[in-house]
Structure 1
C-alpha cells in the first residue's frame, strides 16, 4: 500500500535463475494474484503452470511499454533479472508511471552474487551494464589492480571483451566468466584475457575483471595528454585545457555547451569528470565533428552529443547549459545571443588566441565583469646542439557568470 491508501496495479518482481525458490513472500503473493504476467521468456518458464495470462516481453525492449500500459488498472506482474533498479528494466518502466502505480520487490543482483562468490568488496568494484553499450566504456576504468564486474549480452560478447582488453594492452587481466548466477546452471570459469578460449559461455552472463597489464591508463586529473585525442591541430592543448576545465568547474549532473569543439577534448573531459554529466559539442566543420564523435567513443563517453553547425545559429532548441566553453568562433553576435537567451547563473569561459578575439573578450569583460587570465606557455626545443625556450601563442581566457 502506498500513500493515500491506494494499491499499485504493477508489481515489478526481481527473479533470479533459481526461479520461485528465491522469491520473497510478497513476490509470491503478487504472482499468484496476477491477471497478467510479462517478462523474459526464460523467467516466465521458471514459474509453475497456472495463474494469470502470460506474455513474453518483446524485443526491442521499448516495444513492450505500450502493451504494459494498456493493462493499467489490472493486476500485472513484470519479471526482471535480479535488482530491477541496478542496470535493470525497473527505472525505464517507472518513468512512464506515477509513484502510486507500481511497487518493486528486488532479488539479489548479478553484481551482488558475483561479488559474493569471489569475495570482492562490491563498494570497491566498478559495476557496468554492457548489454547494449560499447566495450569502450571500460576505458576510464582500465588500470592495473582495478576490479570490474560487467554484465554482457552473450558468449560472443565475452569473447569480444577478451579481445578488446588484449588490444588495449590488458591481456594479463584475469576474467571470471560467470553464467546463470544463483541458479542450477551457475558456472564460473577463470581465464586470462590474452588466452581466452571459452566458446560455450551462455546468457545470462557476467564477467568479473581483475585488471592487469601494461596498457595505457587514462589519468584521473583534468588535462589529458594530447595523444589521447585524434586532431588536426585544432585542439585546446593539455596545459590550457587543464586551466580551462578548472575555470569551467564541472559539477555532478551538469550540462556543458562546447562551442567550436574541434577535437571535442573539452567536452570529453567534462564527461569524464562525472558519469552524470552531459555535454553538447557544436562544430561547423563536418570532418572535425566526426573526429570529435570518434574521440568520445574511444574514451568511453559516446554520450557526447556533437551538433553539426555554426554558433549561434545551431544553439537554439537545445537543453540550456550550466556552463559554456567557447574555444573557437568567438564573436560579438555569439556573446549577444548567449546573454539574450540563457539564464542568469550560467558560467562562461572563452579562450581567445587572435588579437581580434582578445580585444573582444577585453571589451565584454569591461562591461560584464568576470576574470581575465593571460596564459603564456613555452616549451624546450633544440637550438643546434643546445636547447632553448620556444614560446607558444598566448591565450587570453575570460571567465564570467551570466
Structure 2
C-alpha cells in the first residue's frame, strides 16, 4: 500500500507557531518538500529529514517528486491552510484524498479578517496567484470588501493601476504583510494615490480592498443584462433585455460549460461566466476582428478565462469539450449547424437559439415541432422623442427557441 503523504501548514511565525502534532510530523519525516522560504523556517536539529525545494514551474514537477520518494515518510510544507488555494488541492488530485494527512494552520485570510475586524464568512477572497489580474474586475462592487491573495511584491501596485483604469480609484487598499509573524506590517492607501509603486512590499502579503466606485463609472451588477455600454461592439451585440432573457433560459450553474456560437461581442458567454466563478464558456466566432473584440470584452468585464475559437461553425466545433448548454446567436442557416450543436449536447443539456430573420425562424419552428421546448417572441420598445412629445420605438422582434435535450418530446 502506498505510504501516506503529510501536508503541513506553516505560517510566517514558523516553527514557534506550529502545534505539537505538526512538529512531530515534520520531525519524523524522511523527506521534507516545500518552498525555500518554508524550509528555512524549520530548525535542522528538530527536522533532520532530507530537504527538497520545489522546482519551477511547480505543478509539472509534482508527480515526479512524489514518485521519486515513494515509500518514504514524506511531509509537504504549505503556507497556512493547504486546502485554501494551496498545494493540498493539487496533491489531492494526484494522490487521492485517502493518501493525504492534512494538518492545517490558520490561513492568511483568517489572519487578515482578524486584523481588520471583518467577518470571514462575509468576505470574498480572490486569488491573483497564477491568474490574470483582470479576474479581479468581476468582484468589484460598491461597498464590497475583498481580500486578494497577491502573487509577488508588484501585485499591490498593479491592483491599484487596474482600479484607477476601471473607475475604482477611491478604493482603499491595505496590504497586510507577514501575517502572524514577527515582521507583520499593514500598509494603507487608496488607488488614486498610486500606492506601493516604490516596490517596498513584502512578497508574502494579503491585499484588502474597501471598494468605492468613482462618480460616473458604469455600474455593473451581478445579474444578467449588463448595460450595452459595457461592451465594445460593432453592432453585433445581443441587446440588454434580450440578453437577460437569454441567460435566464440558459440557466447557468456552477462548473457548467457553455458554447456561445456566433459570439459577436461575446456578451452571452461573458455574462454566463460572471454568473459564477466556476462557470466556463467557449465563444466561437468566424471573424478574427470580432474574436479579438470578444477577448477584450472578457478581460474588461472580469472573465479573462473565456476561451475564444476563431473559425466558422460547425467546423470550428470539432474537438471542443462537451457543453452543458449551447447558445446560437448567429449563423443558424449554416448547413449542419443546428444538428451539430444538438448532437454535441448530452442528455439534460440546454440549447437556446435567437434569430430576427424569417428564414432562421422557420428552422426554429421546425425544431420546435420535432423536439418541443419553448418558442417565444421577444419584443422590446424604448421611449424616444417624437417632436415635442414621447413615443415608442420598437426594436426588431427576436424569436427564441429554448429546449432541454431529453425532456418531453425532445
TM-score, normalised by the number of residues in structure 2 = 0.92
Contact kept, 8 Å, 2:8 with 2:22, in 1: the verdict is yes
Deviation readout 1:336-382 (Å, 9 max, x if unpaired) = 22344432221111101111101111112122212111112222334
Runs of 4+ in 1 over 6 A off after TM superposition: none
Cα separation, 1, equivalents of 2:151 and 2:96: 30
Q: 2:49 aligned with 1:61, yes or no?
A: no
| Compared CA separation, residues 314 and 251, structure 1 to 2 (3 A) | same
Contact kept, 8 Å, 1:14 with 1:82, in 2: the verdict is yes
Q: 2:319 aligned with 1:321, yes or no?
A: no
Contact kept, 8 Å, 1:17 with 1:182, in 2: the verdict is yes
- Match for residue 31 of structure 2 among 19, 31, 36: 36
| Compared CA separation, residues 339 and 191, structure 1 to 2 (3 A) | closer
SS in 2 for 1:155: coil
Contact kept, 8 Å, 2:2 with 2:70, in 1: the verdict is no
- Match for residue 273 of structure 2 among 256, 271, 274: 271
Q: 2:212 aligned with 1:209, yes or no?
A: no
Contact kept, 8 Å, 2:259 with 2:283, in 1: the verdict is yes
Cα separation, 1, equivalents of 2:87 and 2:212: 32
Matched residue count: 397
The within-5 A match list for 1:2-401 is 8-50=3-45, 51-65=48-62, 66-198=64-196, 199=198, 200-214=200-214, 215-331=217-333, 333-401=336-404
95-104 vs 286-295, greater mean Cα deviation: 95-104
Contact kept, 8 Å, 2:373 with 2:403, in 1: the verdict is yes
Cα separation, 2, equivalents of 1:363 and 1:113: 60
Task: Tell me by how many angstroms 1:67 deviates.
Answer: 2.0
| Compared CA separation, residues 196 and 338, structure 1 to 2 (3 A) | closer
Give the alignment's Cα RMSD to 1 decimal: 1.7
TM-score, normalised by the number of residues in structure 1 = 0.94
Gaps of 5+ in 2: 406-410
| Compared CA separation, residues 247 and 333, structure 1 to 2 (3 A) | same
- Structure 1 partner of 2:408: none
Task: Tell me by how many angstroms 1:319 deviates.
Answer: 2.0
Gaps of 5+ in 1: 1-5
Cα separation, 1, equivalents of 2:39 and 2:229: 50
Task: Tell me by how many angstroms 1:89 deviates.
Answer: 1.6
Contact kept, 8 Å, 1:178 with 1:207, in 2: the verdict is yes
